Each structure stands twice: as C-alpha cells, then as structure tokens.
Structure 1
Amino acid sequence: MELLIFTLVLSIDSFSAALALGFRRFSHRRALFFALSSGFSEGFAIFLGFLLGRIAENFIVNYDHWVAFFLLCAVGGHMCYQSYQEMRSSSPRETHAVKVHGLLKILFVSSVTSIDSLGVGVTLGLIGKPVALYSLVIGIGAFLSTYLGLFLAKRISGHLGEKVEFLGGVILILLGIKMLSI
C-alpha cells in the first residue's frame, strides 16, 4: 500500500507536466518518448537520491524544491509568453504551421519534474526500503501518468482553441509553486 501511495503522489508531477505540454500536438512516437523519459527520470531520481543520500543528505533535501520551482516557472513563463505573443499577432486569416515541443524540452521537463524524487530516494534509503523495487514501480507509474496527461490534454485542447499553450504554461508555474510546499 505504501508503494502505491508513493507512486501516485510522485506521478502527479509527470501527469501535470504531460497535461501542460500535451496541449500541443504529439505524434505517437513523441508521446512514447515523453512517457519513457518521464518514467526513466522518476525511477532514476529515486535511485540517485538513494545513492546521493549517503553522501549529501542535508544539501539535497534542503534545496531540491527550490531548483524545481525556478526551472518549472521559467519553462512555464516562457510558454505563457510565447502563447501571448501568438494570440496578439495572429489574425483569423493567418494559418500557422503545426507546432510541437522539441525533444530537449521534453527531456528537460521530465527531469525537472523528477527532482522531488531525489528527496524521496534519500528518505527511502534512510528507512531501509528496497530502492530497486520503488524505482521500478514509481517509474512505471510516471510512464502511465504521462500517457494519461497527454491523452486528456488532447481531449481538452479542442475546446480551448489557441489559449491552450498559455494554460499549459500556467500549469507548469503552478507545479513549480507546489514544489515549494514539499
């Protein structure tokens, strides 16, 4: 039961990021890449936190949430700015090329949303939990939640029109603020 709770809580960030980025078009291949990178990032962060916990426990736990906050707010703010610029400059007659998120942005967001898992990994190591099992199950949970977030974003985006990227940026900023409460 404890493992399931950890998985659900840590997968919320992957879900939220997928929801935020999923408002832009995703091919099946890019969605798989995003889900794999989210799952791997979460699982690896748990494992890395476990290892780093033996070296620098206090430093990681005290600062990981601030790093995640600033990075997510920066990406979210940039998305809001781009969306605002597009809404201001576009006229109803203009047609735009289909925009997609780059692979580096996907990797970056997957990594940033996994920063809180470092602290969890430290804690799991200190209380003697089997880190390999936790890493695997949490990684699978992040993989699945990323797909769910992308699917829901695709369903919602048809109703919101061109404001969807702005909403995605706001979601990332809110996710960054949430990181401060951890």
Structure 2
Amino acid sequence: MGLIELFLIAIGVSMDAFAASICRGLSLKKFNIKTAVIVGLYFGSFQAVMPLLGYLLGVQFQDLIEDIDHWIAFALLVIIGINFIRESRKECANNEENHAHIFSPLSFKIMFVLAFSTSIDALAVGVSFAFLKVYIVPAILFIGLVTFFMSIIGVKIGNTFGTKFKASAEFAGGVILILIGIHILLEHLGIIRF
C-alpha cells in the first residue's frame, strides 16, 4: 500500500472524528486551542489504537484466508464507506450532543464514548491492513496524526460555522473508503497496476 492510499484511508477513517469534532466545537462558547488539541488527542489516539487491535486480530487469521484477503479488505472498506454515507444523512452526532449544555465539552465520559464510537470502523481497517501486509506502526501513527489535525480543524469549523459541513465530511469519507476498497480489489485481480 502506497503513501497516497494510506493518506486517503487516514482521511476516510478520520471523517467520523472530524464530524464529532465539529459537534464538540458547537458546544464551545469560544474557540480555544487547548480544548481543540485535547479533542484531537482523544480522537487521534483512538484512531491509532483501534487499527492496531484490528491488525493484531487479522494477523491471527492471515494464513487461513490469504487467498481471499483482497476480497475481505474490499468488503470491509465498502461496508465502512456505506456506513459513513448512511451516517451523513443523520443529525449532528448523538442525543448527548443535543444536551451539550449539561456536560463539559471535555468530559472524560463523553469524550471517551465519542472517541471509541468513531473509531470502531478503524478496527476493521486494521484487519484489512493485516491482510494487505501493511507496515502497521507507521500506518497507525500516520492515521493518528491525520485524525488529530482533522479533529482540531473540526472543532474550529464547528465553533465557527456550526453543523453545515458535518454531513459533507462523512459522505466524502464514505466515498473515499469505497473507492480505496475498489482500487485494492482491482489491483489484486490484476486489472490495474498502480
């Protein structure tokens, strides 16, 4: 897997965190870089750890399914992408976001749940990384950093513009993941060579 594909995957899986960061930005009276960095650390950390866990699970089964690994990677990325597109049709985050005035924007409980729930898809990406024999440490560091910066940007956008970009971000993330899944499948089938 090349750097461009990895970057696109990182952007794709960070879109849920980006959208949730926009919602976190909505709950702030005024943009604060310290708050944005903390939000970025929550989301970036989870987006790095979950693919690692998925990778470790995938490596256990790699020998059993080596002949169909590209189909599995394709299916996982397409399913995740479709889920992102479906989620782009929903309201801004969960019900807890509608009650943001009750909770601190950086409440551990809220941030943990948001970071965990937005990183579940990254677990499946990690499984596909195992099948594609991706060097996991640079990949998860890259995904974590991309998510960290996307989250900071999301907090700023949410604080400045509101929910206007949330659905577009999730939709774009879904399309990117589906296209990468198709690319992986076509490359393993020998239809394309880049």
Gaps of 5+ in 2: 63-71, 179-194
1:97-136 maps to which residues of 2 (within 5 A)? 100-101=104-105, 102-136=107-141
- Paired with 2:25 and 2:138, the residues of 1 have a C-alpha distance of 29
RMSD: 3.8
**TM-score normalised to structure 2 length:** 0.62
* Equivalent position SS for 1:113: helix
Q: Report the equivalent of 2:55.
A: 50
* Equivalent position SS for 2:19: helix
Gaps of 5+ in 1: 84-96, 158-166
Q: Give the ranges of 4+ consecutive aligned residues of structure 1 lying more than 6 Å apart after TM superposition.
A: none
* Equivalent position SS for 1:22: helix
- Paired with 2:135 and 2:33, the residues of 1 have a C-alpha distance of 34
1:26-175 maps to which residues of 2 (within 5 A)? 27-55=32-60, 76-80=94-98, 82=99, 100-101=104-105, 102-157=107-162
- Paired with 1:109 and 1:52, the residues of 2 have a C-alpha distance of 23
* 8 Å CA contact retained: 1:41, 1:111: yes
Count of residue pairs brought into register by the alignment: 151
Shift of 1:29: 3.1
* 8 Å CA contact retained: 1:38, 1:146: yes
* Equivalent position SS for 2:94: helix
Shift of 1:55: 4.7
**TM-score normalised to structure 1 length:** 0.65
Residue number among 10, 13, 23 corresponding to 1:10 in the alignment: 13
Identity, % of aligned pairs?
Answer: 21
Per-residue displacement from partner, 1:74-132 (whole Å, max 9, x unpaired)? x612333x37xxxxxxxxxxxxx896321221121011101000000000001111111
